[in-house]
Amino acid sequence: MDNQKLSAENYPQISANALRPTYIEVNLSALSSNFDAIKKRAGKSKIMPILKANAYGHGLVKVAQYMENLGADYLGVAFLEEGILLRESGVKMPILVLGGILGNQIPLFIENDLTLTASSIEKLNLIDEAAENLKAKAKVHLKIDTGMERIGVHYYNANKFIEKAFGYKNIIVEGVFSHFADSASSDLTHTYLQLERFNDALNFARKSGFEIPLKHISNSGGILQLPEADFDLVRPGILLFGVYPSAEVKRTVPVTPALTWKSRVVYFKVIKPNHPVGYGMIWKSDKQIRAVTIPVGYGDGYFRSMTGKAEVLLNGKKYPVIGRISMDQIVVNIEGDSAFNNDEVVLIGRQGKEEISVADLAEWAGTVPYEILTNINTRVPRVYLR
Ligand SMILES: *Cc1c(COP(=O)(O)O)cnc(C)c1O
């Protein structure tokens, strides 16, 4: 590793040589080709990369700056502080904060030129009042709940909401959006119902003469399976990082995983028969084996629930993790093979002809790929490769 490949984001400044051997490599060319593939699929619709939860573990600021370079039209994050961090890092492009807001946060949105999600008439009142006090205009996207019951005005009250939103002096209604609850499924019944409810609200707006520049609903599942839901803009999250949102989703857009999680062997030993490994002594062998210890654990987001199932790549081969996954260490059974200190270990990604995917870890941990990616702790350094 040379210094240019290192990013200090989320990690103390130390020299490249002393860097923790456990790190994430983010392949920027993969991000770029995934972005292009999504853009090709979405035609003339704008692209809003969704970069919440540290850009799905890939590093918020770096990925945002890269998306800005690639020509993304808008960025989406979950929370106010994510938006502020991007502004403080010099990101100039429009940013929509997707989550629910509280009244006392509104001035910070306006001062940082962040687009607000307005999810009720009450919130619109608060936004208008805050904007008036600041002698500014607030840019909002109206959130319609078409069938998820998190935030947003219910589709059956959407007409009144839209009509009211256009009556404020200090609010610019730039967009209207909704969110799919099940668009990566093989059964799209609920998704089509949501799409119909969204279209009804938009038809009302059009007939009433309300001009809404950015109408959007599609996440990764929608982009893959419902081109008719593109509207003016699409909101890819996980797909941009080269991971499919579910096992059954149609893979209509070819993408490559951008993230590789690597570590190195820091210890080699021989384990004698009947000498248990790790907390709780849940694993032991009746024959002698060779094993290596790797400096990664659940404190990095390598889930303890993968105990008994996880495998890693070493010398181009898959080997099982044995004993309980600890906070900072795992032990790998290499049976009769050889390995040495400093040998590269791949936790997620390719080595030689073998691959361990984010979906594999999700299966071992009994969760979804999203949770694997977003839980890789910020103490794991991120390294960016072109
Ligand atoms: C997270 C999120 C997305 C992106 O979802 P993916 O399934 O990762 O594509 C899009 N829109 C909203 C509102 C979200 O919260």
Residue-wise pLDDT for 329-344, tens only, equals: 999 999 999 999 999 9
Tell me how far the alpha carbon of residue 328 lies from the centroid of ligand 1, in angstroms: 31
Is the pLDDT reported for residue 155 higher than 80?
Answer: yes
Identify which of 179, 183, 231 to mutate to test ligand 1's pocket (most ligand atoms within 8 A of the CB). 179
What are the tokens at 303?
């889930």
Is the pLDDT reported for residue 3 higher than 60?
Answer: no
Mean local confidence (pLDDT), 12-20 = 61
| CA of 236, closest atom in ligand 1 | 9
Mean local confidence (pLDDT), 17-22 = 79
- The residues with which 356 forms a beta bridge, in sequence order, are 349
CATH of 43-241, one of 3.20.20.10, 3.40.640.10, 3.40.50.450, 3.30.70.2740: 3.20.20.10
Average of per-residue pLDDT values in the chain: 95
Share of the chain above pLDDT 90, in %: 95
* Residue range(s) of every CATH 2.40.37.10 domain in the chain: 259-385
Among protein residues, the one whose CA lies closest to atom 4 of ligand 1: 237
CATH of domain 259-385: 2.40.37.10
Is the pLDDT reported for residue 8 higher than 90?
Answer: no
| CA of 183, closest atom in ligand 1 | 7
> What is the per-residue pLDDT across 302-316, written as a single tens digit (0 to 9) for each?
999 999 999 999 999
Tell me how far the alpha carbon of residue 284 lies from the centroid of ligand 1, in angstroms: 43
Query: Is the C-beta atom of 216 inside 6 A of ligand 1?
Result: no
Do 198 and 162 meet the contact criterion of CB atoms below 8 Å apart? no
| CA of 235, closest atom in ligand 1 | 10
CB neighbours of 292 closer than 8 A, spacing ≥ 6? 265, 267, 268, 269, 314, 331, 332, 334, 339, 343, 345
Is the pLDDT reported for residue 14 higher than 60?
Answer: no
Beta strands in the chain, from DSSP E residues, in sequence order: 23-27, 46-47, 75-77, 95-97, 116-118, 138-145, 153-154, 171-177, 214-216, 233-234, 259-264, 267-271, 289-294, 311-314, 317-322, 330-335, 344-351, 354-356, 382-385
Block residue for tokens 């080997």: 319
- The pLDDT of residue 7 is 44
* Residue range(s) of every CATH 3.20.20.10 domain in the chain: 43-241
Is the pLDDT reported for residue 18 higher than 70?
Answer: no
Identify which of 142, 183, 235, 370 to mutate to test ligand 1's pocket (most ligand atoms within 8 A of the CB). 235
> What is the per-residue pLDDT across 257-280, written as a single tens digit (0 to 9) for each?
999 999 999 999 999 999 999 999
311-314 and 317-322 strand pairing: antiparallel
- The pLDDT of residue 258 is 98
Is the pLDDT reported for residue 19 higher than 80?
Answer: no
Please state, in angstroms and as integers, the Cα–Cα distance from residue 23 to each residue in 45, 55, 300, 369, following that order.
Answer: 35, 16, 10, 19
Query: Is the C-beta atom of 50 inside 6 A of ligand 1?
Result: yes
What are the tokens at 335?
């049976």
Catalytic-labelled residue, pool 156, 192, 267, 279: 279
Question: Considering the entire predicted model, what is its pTM?
Answer: 0.94
Tell me how far the alpha carbon of residue 50 lies from the centroid of ligand 1, in angstroms: 6
Q: Annotated catalytic, 279?
A: yes
Catalytic-labelled residue, pool 11, 52, 309, 318: 52
| CA of 370, closest atom in ligand 1 | 8
